[in-house]
Amino acid sequence: MTHQPAIPSLTAADPEIAGLIEQEAARQHDKIRLIASENYVSQAVLEATGTVLTNKYSEGYAGKRYYEGQQIVDPVETLAIERAKALFGAEHANVQSYSGSPANLAAYLAFAKPGDPVLGMALPDGGHLTHGWSVSATGKWFTPVRYGVRKETGRVDLDQVRDLAREHRPKLIFAGGTAIPRTIDFPAFAEIAREIDAVLVADIAHIAGLVAGGAHPSPVGHAQVITTTTHKTLRGPRGAMILTDADHAKAIDKAVFPGLQGGPHNHTTAAIAVALGEAAKPEFREYAHAIVANAKALAEALIERGFDLVSGGTDNHLLLVDLTTKNIGGKPAAKALDKAGIELNYNTVPFDPRKPFDPSGIRLGTGAITTRGLRPEHQPQIAEWIARTVSAAAAEDEAALGTIAAEVRELLAGYPIPGYLEA
């Protein structure tokens, strides 16, 4: 087996790095990858990411650059913009943000001033660091106000959102997060934002592919600003986009450049354009709905095996599992699962009594396994492996983990990945 595209020049020039890349390709092939923020990009996206476009500096925007020689780069960026607008039905798109966190920072820079109140979901309840959490610059430079979920349902408490918005009058309201297994009610958030004249920012980094494929309601028409990464369920390179309505476009563009960064990464822009072109095809719509079908099947299989799911299940790609009743913490469980060939991350759960670095939960996502072709009928087997691993970890049975890892590799041998082909 070998990395694809092949890397002969790298192998000759730096065999140490080339060897590590080959090992990583094998690792990605051999494990059930359930990290909700990860996926496999197509070989076309891989090829676009590794082109001579990485050589070019392009500060500014198409037609208004600060460097010469943009005759090719301008059409590349314009293609990415037009494809983003068409795919999501947005009036404006900025494709230059380096990643999701800078994309969120652009919203702050565009529409708030240091010290202004900002309303976002609390990190332990499923929010993101950049929604105003204390260790983030956004929590240090602005006045964070945090909403959460209802203890009895595990779902966003919109009454609390409304009450906090009326009390604190935030300049920005963030909807979305990193561990939300249920449909986000963008119209309800928009109504609250309109009442206090706040800018609604929909962070759809996790669900962008589901939105593009019609498997989750779109925030377009409800949120003035929409931020997203371009990987995760959208299945593109590591990058970001910001979608806006026409009224908020100029402020966002100025915030991205020159407000937060210099030249965009043109090789990434090209790969984003490729991924957006792929996402516009009918088969991507099928893929988005298959992600949800797999997540629902996995949720059902885990519940049948005695696992407690936050909110009782999922509407999207993501599952948040509370391991309290399994007598093991999320961190040791995640490490044992990795040894057993099942890759995911430990995660806080709402109202978690444990510390964030040793929380009670694990987070799972079905984007990557769906790309490989695994279907709902495979989910009971995956759930059974998870259950066996958690039991083995609690019993400190290391031998069982190796047995499970071998069974995982046997299944995955029939489901190849982009970027790794048999020699």
Q: What is the CATH number of the domain that holds 316?
A: 3.90.1150.10
Same domain? 274 vs 296:
no
* Tens-place pLDDT, residues 261-295: 999 999 999 999 999 999 999 999 999 999 999 99
* Mean pLDDT in residue range 53-81: 98
Same domain? 318 vs 226:
no
57 is an active site residue: yes
Q: Are 167 and 139 in contact (CB under 8 A)?
A: no
pLDDT at 299 over 80: yes
pLDDT at 211: 98
Same domain? 261 vs 393:
no
Q: How many CA atoms lie within 13 A of 215 on its CB side?
A: 32
* Mean pLDDT in residue range 42-67: 97
β-partners of residue 127 are none
**Domain end position, chosen among 224, 258, 279:** 279
State yes or no: 127 annotated in a binding site: yes
Same domain? 232 vs 114:
yes
Same domain? 249 vs 112:
yes
* Mean pLDDT in residue range 179-198: 98
Mean pLDDT of the chain: 97
* Tens-place pLDDT, residues 150-173: 999 999 999 999 999 999 999 999
**363 is in which domain, residue-wise?**
291-417
pLDDT at 9 over 70: yes
* Mean pLDDT in residue range 395-416: 96
Report the share of the chain in percent with pLDDT over 90: 98
With H, G, I as helix, E, B as strand and everything else as coil, classify residue 319.
Answer: strand
Residue 124: C-alpha distances to residues 34, 184, 320 (Å): 20, 17, 12
The residue among 209, 339, 354, 348 whose CA lies nearest residue 284 is 209
Euclidean distance between CA atoms 245 and 2, whole angstroms:
45
State yes or no: 3 annotated in a binding site: no
- Give me the helix-helix angle, 379-394 and 282-304, nearest 10°: 40
* Residue 139, domain member (yes or no): yes
Same domain? 273 vs 183:
yes
Which listed residue (57, 61, 98, 415) is catalytic? 57
* Residue 123, domain member (yes or no): yes
The residue among 285, 155, 270, 271 whose CA lies nearest residue 211 is 285
* Residue 298, domain member (yes or no): yes
Amino acid at 312: G
287 is an active site residue: no
59 is an active site residue: yes
Which listed residue (155, 238, 285, 354) is catalytic? 238
pLDDT at 1: 63
Same domain? 217 vs 358:
no
Is the model's pTM score more than 0.95? Answer: yes
State yes or no: 260 annotated in a binding site: no
Euclidean distance between CA atoms 118 and 144, whole angstroms:
5
Which listed residue (138, 228, 229, 233) is catalytic? 229
Same domain? 345 vs 257:
no
**Domain end position, chosen among 279, 311, 332:** 279
pLDDT at 347 over 80: yes
The conformational region for residue 345 under phi > 0 = left, psi -120 to 50 = alpha, else beta, is beta
Q: What is the CATH number of the domain that holds 173?
A: 3.40.640.10
* Tens-place pLDDT, residues 230-248: 999 999 999 999 999 999 9
Q: In the structure, what pLDDT confidence band is assigned to residue 31 with cuts at 50, 70 and 90?
A: very high
Same domain? 234 vs 379:
no
* Tens-place pLDDT, residues 122-148: 999 999 999 999 999 999 999 999 999
Omega before 237 within 30 of 0, i.e. cis: no
What residue spans of 55-96 are helical by DSSP H? Answer: 73-88
415 is an active site residue: no
Which listed residue (232, 235, 296, 331) is catalytic? 232
Which listed residue (203, 253, 278, 315) is catalytic? 203
232 is an active site residue: yes
pLDDT at 421 over 90: no
State yes or no: 105 annotated in a binding site: no
Same domain? 152 vs 185:
yes
389 is an active site residue: no
Residue 422: C-alpha distances to residues 2, 25, 50, 375, 388 (Å): 6, 12, 21, 23, 30
**Domain end position, chosen among 279, 312, 333:** 279
Q: In the structure, what pLDDT confidence band is assigned to residue 177 with cuts at 50, 70 and 90?
A: very high
